[in-house]
């Protein structure tokens, strides 16, 4: 179920309430009390071992039918935040654009090329997408950008996404090609025997 704009406001409240802690730790857990204040029944914040984690790509939050767990991650400090709603039923997320907060630590984190991420979504299964994009983002943030810079990092990310799509789709395309070729051979044999 797609939620209304007002639901985004709830997440904005979560973000603003937790900002100081979030900024110092990179990730923060909201307390039960804080969550109840803004209308959620229940949440969990750790030991999340779910099979159905979804990648966020746009600003939609989907209702969960079980207790809701909330984790807020400052993915792009200063310019963009990511809010995640986790539940036993699944994970649905929302991107919260442009929340103004002063930058005090002086660290500028790079933006991932979101179009590359969206492209990956078209080709990868939910399960694969979570793993591949998570690993790429980690490598981008912790190794590539610090070592080679943002510009190279963004190109690297695109290249890795395209390579990964090829690796995933290549095998399927080869199978399809083989089936098509076998079909042609079978058809040729049938024609030959019928003459």
Question: How many Å apart are CA 44 and CA 26, to the nearest integer?
Answer: 18
Contact stretch for other proteins (CB under 8 A) within 1-9, 12-20, 162-170, 182-190: 162-170
Q: Does 11 bind other proteins (CB under 8 A)?
A: no
* Least Å from the CB of residue 40 to other proteins: 17
Q: Does 98 bind other proteins (CB under 8 A)?
A: no
Sheet architecture: strand order including 68-76: 27-29, 68-76, 80-87, 90-97
Q: Does 137 bind other proteins (CB under 8 A)?
A: yes
Q: Does 35 bind other proteins (CB under 8 A)?
A: no
3-state secondary structure of 26: coil
* Least Å from the CB of residue 177 to other proteins: 17
DSSP symbols for 15-59: HHHTHHHHHHHSEEE--HHHHHHTT------S----S------SS
Taking the least distance from each CB to other proteins, the nearer of 20 and 138 is 138
Q: Which of 167, 72, 89 is nearest to 128 (CA)?
A: 167
Taking the least distance from each CB to other proteins, the nearer of 97 and 183 is 97
Question: How many Å apart are CA 37 and CA 13, to the nearest integer?
Answer: 10
Instruction: Classify residue 102 by its DSSP letter.
Output: -
Q: Does 135 bind other proteins (CB under 8 A)?
A: yes
- Select from 14, 61, 64, 71 the one that contacts other proteins (CB under 8 A): 71
- Give the gyration radius of the chain's Cα atoms: 22
Give the interface with other proteins as residue ranges (CB under 8 A): 26-27, 46-51, 53, 55-56, 71, 73-75, 82, 84, 93, 112, 124, 128, 130-139, 141-142, 160, 163-168, 171
């Amino acid at each position: 179920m797609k939620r209304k704009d007002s639901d985004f406001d709830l997440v904005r409240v979560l973000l603003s309430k937790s900002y100081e802690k979030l900024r110092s730790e990179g990730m923060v857990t909201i307390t039960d009390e804080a969550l109840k204040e803004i209308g959620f029944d229940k949440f969990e914040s750790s030991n999340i071992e779910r099979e159905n984690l979804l990648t966020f790509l746009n600003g939609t939050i989907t209702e969960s039918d079980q207790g809701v767990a909330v984790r807020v991650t400052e993915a792009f400090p200063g310019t963009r935040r990511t809010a995640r709603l986790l539940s036993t039923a699944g994970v649905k997320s929302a991107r919260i654009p442009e929340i103004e907060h002063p930058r005090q630590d002086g660290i500028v984190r790079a933006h991932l090329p979101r179009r590359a991420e969206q492209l990956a979504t078209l080709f990868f299964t939910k399960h694969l997408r979570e793993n591949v994009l998570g690993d790429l983002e980690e490598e981008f943030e912790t190794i590539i950008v610090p070592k080679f810079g943002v510009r190279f990092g963004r190109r690297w990310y695109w290249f890795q996404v395209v390579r990964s799509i090829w690796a995933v789709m290549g095998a399927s395309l080869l199978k399809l090609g083989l089936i098509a070729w076998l079909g042609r051979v079978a058809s040729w044999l049938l024609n030959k025997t019928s003459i």
